[in-house]
Amino acid sequence: MRFVSWNVNGLRAVLKKGFEDVVSAFDADIFALQETKLQAGQAAPDLPDYYEFWSYAERKGYSGTAVFSKRLPLQVLHGLGFPHLDTEGRICALEFPEFWFVCVYTPNAQNELARIDHRMEWDDAFREFCTGLESGVLPAGVPVERPGEGPAEFGTGHVDVAVLPTTQPGDATNPKPVVMCGDFNVAHQEIDLKNPGPNRGNAGFSDEERAKFTALLDAGFIDTFRLTHGQEEGAYSWWSYRFNARKNNAGWRIDYFLVSEQLRQRVQAASIYPEVFGSDHCPVGLSLDEFTE
């Protein structure tokens, strides 16, 4: 099974730069996006092999996530279950019979850590969300897409979450492992960015954000790139548009695939694709052994 994740920094712009060709070339089982910057119906990628699921921010032209899957999931969640955290379309979580697939776009702490309190609350809520899914517990009050429910055919995409039903207290499913991906907006260790010294304490490399990412790993999740590549240096997924950063590979690794500990032995490969342009991020990928009945 092949998964790809990409922060496209505005899907409408990337659609003009060969996005559909990129998706076709990867031919992934699941292709996840962050920072789509869309409202419902503002873009329609031509991806006939995929079912589509979208989460939108209430604020126009901001944030947003989407997941394209060749398989129909059992259900799709569009939030963490905290109304004040769920207005920016940062979660799109698909349940399959064997696992959960969670696409996340983590809030940026912003200059001078202006939004660090919000970020800390988000990180805690997201960790609890993922460990809850592992144990089969669904958060209450989350817009949910399920076959036969809602205003549109399941998997056709561009559904306004405001018209979806929501999960109820006590909703549950079978315990199963989690595959999570996306822009986590943090370089975990010094090896994960080109210039750690000058950036220490800045958004994306603050002690607070790094500690929360450590807590996520300590909760039972594995950074698949470090699992498969060890202490490899110079592997980055985001570069500033300034100072020829991408040309000079002065980047940060802030896009990840993490998996539950029980999937460790299924991890075949984790990849970064800096040759793919169109955004200030490049895609990252994960290959897992197929699940069998």
User: Annotated catalytic sites, by residue?
Assistant: 105, 183
- Residue in 10, 51, 2 with CA at minimum distance from that of residue 33: 10
Strand 65-69 to strand 238-239: parallel, antiparallel, or no bridges (unpaired)? unpaired
Q: How many CB atoms lie within 10 A of CB 9?
A: 18
* Cα–chain center distance at 156: 20
**Coil, helix or strand for 215?**
helix
- Start-to-end CA span in the chain (Å): 15
Helix (H, G, I), strand (E, B) or coil at 245: coil
Dihedral sign from CA coordinates of 35, 291, 269, 127: positive
Phi, psi of 252 (to 5 degrees): -135, 145
* Alpha-carbon separation of residue 240 from 29, 53, 76, 201, 279 (angstroms): 30, 29, 33, 18, 10
Q: Which of 94, 44, 100, 101 shows the shortest CA–CA distance to 73?
A: 94
- Close Cβ partners of 143 (under 8 Å, ≥ 6 residues apart): 77, 78, 79, 161, 162, 164, 165, 166
